[in-house]
Amino acid sequence: MGSVKDLEVLRKPTKDEMGIGRFHFSDRYSVFDWGEMPDRIENKGSALCTMGAYCFERLEEKGIKTHYRGLIQDEKLVTTDELKAPTSTMEISLVRVFHPKARREGKKLKYDYGVFTPNLANFLIPLEIIYRNGVPEGSSVFERLNAGLRPEDIGLDHTPLPGERLDRPIFDVSTKLEERDRYVTWVEAQELAGLSDDEIVEMRDMLMHIDDLITETASKAGLENEDGKVEFAFDPNRKLMVVDVVGTLDECRFTYGGVHVSKEIARQYYKGTNWYKDVVEAKKEAGIKGIKDWKSLCSKPPKLDRDLKKMVSEMYMAAASEFTGLHLFDVPSLADLLAMSPA
């Protein structure tokens, strides 16, 4: 079980063959790496499932390999244009997952990535890549710049302003399978994951195509594609493919007329709580003391405001309808919802 979706394994992957699994998208949500929050956002799961499937189908049409197999409805494998009602279950191909070995050096946790060699195949690449087309208010870029990151370290030639659109996308990369994700350089990422120069070039080329497709699709719904998360794996022949899910309101940060249309709304709400201050302090203390479970040092999160939770639920459904053009949910338009937003 993940923080926002559950994985059902139908057939385990082996060294030479991919397995088969199903994502069950839940109505749970997560912010600030906390995991499951105390609320549920109604129909969030089916909205995300629909958006992710739609993007996978469009990527496959463009020749970009993914682990997507289809959606499950009435116990049948279907495509998005065959859907008669929303579904929250997606079938996928599975690869092996190898975790770097953690060890303690003094008060610091260090990770051994020795398992990831150039000869390994059929596995999840232990990285998350974030494409950035803009830096809206709330972007982690600003926290990192304030902490000493140089603009040129992430491909910028100046210090950006909140809300600025970039002339060309930049690609951030972070670890994926450590206790706490951390940003690394592309040189470090290549070394950790055992990637060749050609594989890095191919990965960045695929990122451009993924970004372009999501940007174009989002624009039809009046959405700006500010940034988004992408994960990759190698198939049994060590061919790159896109995995997890892309193009959803949880993987991407979309804005509509400058207003956030993503779980960033919840993030901003929680940033005004004492719990968020506890999260920042707990992560800092855990890093200093080398404590693996930073959440043990933190208070519990409060529930979302009731009216805000209802608006976020409708926002997920409206965005899915307008993003895909399938209109499987009976909700007001995204424009009308945001005009009524209490956020």
Domains and CATH numbers, the chain: 5-339 (3.30.470.20)
Helices and strands of the chain, counted as H and E runs: 8, 15
> Token match 């450590």: residue?
178
Note the pLDDT tens digit of each residue in 224-275: 999 999 999 999 999 999 999 999 998 999 989 888 887 778 888 999 999 9
Note the pLDDT tens digit of each residue in 51-99: 999 999 999 999 999 999 999 999 999 999 999 999 999 999 999 999 9
- Average predicted confidence (pLDDT) for the chain: 93
Question: For position 342, what pLDDT does the model report?
Answer: 52
3-state SS, one letter per residue, for 212-270: HHHHHHHHCCCCEEEEEEEEEEECCCCCEEEECCCCCCCCEEEEECCEEECCHHHHHHH
Between 110 and 199, whose confidence is greater? 199
Cβ distance 233 to 203 under 8 Å?
no
Between 17 and 339, whose confidence is greater? 17
- Cα dihedral 209, 321, 231, 130, rounded to 10, equals 70
With 80 as the cut, is the pLDDT of residue 324 above it? yes
Q: Which distant-in-sequence residues (6+ apart) come within 8 Å of 117 by Cβ?
A: 194
Between 189 and 138, whose confidence is greater? 189
Question: For position 341, what pLDDT does the model report?
Answer: 63
Question: For position 2, what pLDDT does the model report?
Answer: 65
Question: For position 1, what pLDDT does the model report?
Answer: 54
Share of the chain above pLDDT 70, in %: 98
Looking at 154-158, 244-248, 315-319, 324-328, which range is the least confident one?
Answer: 154-158
Nearest to 306 by CA among 278, 342, 337, 273: 342
Structure token pair of residue 65: 């390999």
Structure token pair of residue 48: 């995300």
Note the pLDDT tens digit of each residue in 27-39: 998 888 898 899 9
Between 20 and 30, whose confidence is greater? 20
Nearest to 312 by CA among 87, 31, 44, 50: 44
Give the span between the Cα atoms of 119 and 101, in whole angstroms: 19
Give the span between the Cα atoms of 38 and 318, in whole angstroms: 23
Note the pLDDT tens digit of each residue in 147-199: 888 888 888 889 999 888 999 999 999 999 998 789 999 999 999 999 999 99
Cβ distance 234 to 125 under 8 Å?
yes
With 60 as the cut, is the pLDDT of residue 7 above it? yes
Rounded to a whole number of angstroms, the CA Rg of the chain reads 20
With 80 as the cut, is the pLDDT of residue 18 above it? yes
- Cα dihedral 191, 194, 198, 204, rounded to 10, equals -70
Across 323-342, average pLDDT: 87
> Token match 């000869």: residue?
119
The CA-atom distances, in angstroms, between 209 and each of 65, 68, 234 are 12, 17, 18
With 60 as the cut, is the pLDDT of residue 343 above it? no
Note the pLDDT tens digit of each residue in 45-55: 999 999 999 99
With 60 as the cut, is the pLDDT of residue 202 above it? yes
Structure token pair of residue 119: 């000869």
pTM: 0.89
- Cα dihedral 307, 310, 313, 315, rounded to 10, equals -60
